[in-house]
Amino acid sequence: MGRSHHFHLDVGGHSVTVNIDHGRHGAAELLVDGKETGRAEIHGRRPLTLTGELPTDPPRPVSVRITPGPGGAPRCTAVLDGAETVMPPRAF
């Protein structure tokens, strides 16, 4: 598995980004419009869920599930208003 992965999704004029670092102290962070709204440590290959809110009126909750994907690379699925969307990888 690579050391870092990035995923991005545009939702109603808002940016939802997930950065995953598998370094020595592995962590995943959820950014909404460039601001960190969720963060968690990575423990092995266990699934992980990060939560945050889109800054709308009223705020809309968003969660992202991170699961091991094919070939060991992670896969991110955003859940917003009950609908699931696979987040495409983003190259940096």
Residue range of the domain that includes 55: 4-86
Q: Report yes or no on 92 lying in a domain.
A: no
Which domain CATH number covers 60? 2.40.128.180
Q: Report yes or no on 52 lying in a domain.
A: yes
State if pTM tops 0.85.
yes
Buried b / exposed e over 53-84, threshold 16 CB at 10 Å, is: ebeeeeebebebebeeeeeeebbbbbebeeee
Count: domains in the chain: 1
pLDDT in tens, 12-67: 899 999 999 876 678 999 999 999 999 999 877 788 999 999 999 999 999 999 99
Amino acid identity, residue 73? A
Q: Report yes or no on 91 lying in a domain.
A: no
Distance CA 26, CA 16 (A): 20
